[in-house]
A and B are shown apart, each in its own frame.
Chain A
Amino acid sequence: MNPIVPMIASTVVAATPLIYAALGETVVEKAGVLNLGIEGMMLIGAVAGFAATLATGSDFVGFIAAASAGVALSLAFGFLTLNLQTNQVATGLALTLFGIGLSAFVGHNLAGTPLPPLPSISIPGLSKIPVVGDLLFHYDIMVYLSLVLFAGVQWFLNRSHAGLTLRAIGESPSVAHAIGKSVLTTRYLAVMFGGACAGVAGAYLSLVQTPMWVEGMSAGKGWIALALVVFGTWKPARVVLGAYLFGGVTQFQLFAQGFGLPIPTEFLSMLPYAATIIVLVIICRDPKTILLNQPASLGISFHAAA
């Protein structure tokens, strides 16, 4: 068996939850809100999706439940930071801690129950092409939807009126407010979108990648998604590239170990993080682009002037 094809397939599956979570956070941050609670929302999404699928037998219901749970948690974050104008960093961290605890509490009796994996979709005809068919047309539906989401976010942020408004709010909420845009509504919608994406990302873990619920199963992926947004300089294409890169280098280092390359495993374990940072820093090395892409009012609470 050619080991390259399954390696790439593993990479795609590992990168998909990062893509969902990071694209959601990109939109949130473009609106000027910094939500550090991705990890918590992912875990809530993972447990909600798992419970719903277990109860109904439907993955579709599971993903809807996960997105809803993510939205519910993000609304709490929105209320605190947007209405009460609490510190976004502290509130986001609290959201993560809350999500870890709540998901463990809710999922207490779900641990140890297996779920059947989501069937992969073999696109008729195309999936039969040797190598290419296995490589491109043999995933579960959420992998394809993540690419649809990417295209959608890309279009939204750059081509749609609403997206441009959202970016304007992220740059200068007071100006946007002065010309009659509702900062609060837009930011709420962005935060909810981020919550839904993080919830789906979590459910991808508990329904597809490893169909089970165990406490803390996101194992830090929310933080990686967060880092991808920053190192990808808030550009969806770079964020997605970063996610695949991270998944790919993780896979490569395991692969290298299996081949018995005499490299210290601690170094190999570090490699995905280091490589992703280095590549993204090189791509985005121009400080002007960073300044241009970073939302100017990121993480700053907005007080509407009268």
Chain B
Amino acid sequence: MLIKKWKYLGIAAYLITASSVAASAEPLKVAFVYLGPVKDGGWTQMHDEARQKLEKAMGDKIKTTFVENVPETADSERVFRQLAADGNKLIFATSFGYMEPLQKVAKIFPNVKFEHVNGFKTAPNIVVYEPRFEEGFYLIGTVAGQMTKSNTLGFIGSFPIPSVMRNIDSMTLGALAVNPKVTMKPIWVNTWYDPGKERQAAETLIAQGADNVAQNTDSPASIQAAQEKGTYAFSIDADMASFGPKAQLTGTTEDWSGYYIAETKKVLDGTWTGQRHTRWGLKEGMVVMAPLNAAIPPAAVKVFEDTKAKLVSGELKPFTGPIDDNTGAEKVAAGKTMTDTDASFNSVNWYVKGIDGSVPK
């Protein structure tokens, strides 16, 4: 019953919006759906800053709205329906867990265009976009490998899923390229977000001798820990230097505005197509490194800049063979490169040589 009602409502909304668009030079309505609050100091904040840049760049040709704190549950479906029914023609869904609700809603609103971050299911009116995080982590490794005195690096992992495994592997490869003596210690906290536990993990790694600790969890707790213990840390998503101005050497952040502007322009001039999967990195400016700390000596800065230039030009790819895992098995053959179009790229579940321990199963 309820579903039927929704369907009619959807059709009605569709007819209304379709007719209003036909009539108009009205601004294009663009909506953003956020997982967290806009001031989360990380992931969501970066999306909202990009939304503001988009609005500035496009002026009165568009009108943006956002809904924050939308859980990755059936609740999000209601939000997407509502936004589509309100006449939004382009909707950015900025969290992985919106994938299934989005699939449903997209079928009901075939002329609304949906953009989904980090997902893998496209449709005629859904495209997927994702940053090449591994490039950022490779550069973190470049810095960590040069700045470590103990030759021990640390990594606070959330969950051992392929997209996180790629980051620790990539960081280790980046570090080994500049310092073959480093070893990497991973600790998995099995949460994206628990400041207390992240802090405990950071303190553990520091106590075990890791003097450069990176994280794939969301809070700035590990930066604070490093600041107090006099070691180094790396931010993720946002620049977290205010939590540890001495500790944060650099970090990987995202600037989504270039992509958002490009996609909005495509919708405006009618060239937007569905079924696409876009991965942007340093070159396109979606992955941006946080400012380098003044503590990094000029020689190390130069290595960082050179490496970055090579990643930008495409001369260097993080996963270029030969790469062995830490049990000695060959994962990428010499002369081969694993890129994001390879199936193996999306199923990385091994540690590269140089990482201590065995992969959590």
Contact = CB atoms under 8 A, between A and B. Distances in A.
B162 to A, nearest CB: 16
B209 A257 contact: no
A102 to B, nearest CB: 14
Interface stretch (A121-129, A178-186, A247-255, A297-305): A247-255
B88 interface: no
A214 interface: yes
B193 interface: yes
A221 B199 CA distance: 15
Interface string A55-72: 000000000000000000
A111 B201 CA distance: 22
A6 B203 contact: yes
B204 A104 contact: no
Given A117-B224, A265-B360, A257 B187 contact: yes
A269 interface: yes
A251 B200 contact: yes
Interface stretch (A33-41, A78-86, A205-213): A205-213
Contacts of A114: 220, 224, 242-243
Residue from B154, B160, B197, B209 with most neighbouring chain A CB atoms (10 Å): B197
Given A112-B242, A262-B358, A264-B361, A209 B40 contact: no
A34 to B, nearest CB: 25
A258 B195 contact: no
Interface residues of B, number: 46
Interface string B205-236: 11111100000000111001000100000000
Residue from A211, A216, A221, A255 with most neighbouring chain B CB atoms (10 Å): A255
A214 B200 contact: no
Interface in B314-361: 356-358, 360-361
A258 B199 CA distance: 14
Nearest to A109: B39
B273 interface: no
Given A3-B207, A265-B188, A211 B200 contact: no
A210 B361 contact: no
B75 interface: no
A215 B40 contact: yes
Given A212-B220, A219-B195, A266-B190, A111 B41 contact: yes
Contacts of B201: 254
A219 B208 contact: no
B186 interface: yes
Interface string B44-59: 0100000000000000
Contact of B224 (A1, A7, A113, A211): A211
Contact of A215 (B37, B208, B209): B37
Contacts of B199: 209-210
A254 B210 CA distance: 14
Contacts of B219: 210, 212, 214, 217
B190 A265 contact: yes
A214 B208 contact: no
A112 B37 contact: no
Contacts of B194: 219-220
A214 B195 contact: yes
A205 B196 contact: yes
B208 A259 contact: yes
A215 B219 CA distance: 10
A251 B238 CA distance: 27
A260 interface: yes
A240 B40 CA distance: 33
B195 A212 contact: yes
Interface string B73-106: 0000000000000000000000000000000000
B285 interface: no
Contacts of B40: 111-112, 214-215
A110 B107 CA distance: 40
Contacts of A254: 187, 189, 200-201, 204
A10 interface: yes
Interface of B: 36-37, 39-41, 45, 69, 154, 160, 185-191, 193-201, 203-210, 219-221, 224, 228, 238, 242-243, 356-358, 360-361
5 pairs of A and B residues whose beta carbons are closest in the complex: A260-B357, A112-B41, A3-B207, A265-B188, A219-B194
20 contacts: A7-B203, A7-B207, A112-B40, A117-B224, A210-B195, A210-B196, A210-B221, A212-B220, A212-B221, A215-B40, A219-B197, A250-B197, A257-B186, A257-B187, A258-B208, A262-B358, A264-B361, A265-B188, A269-B188, A269-B190
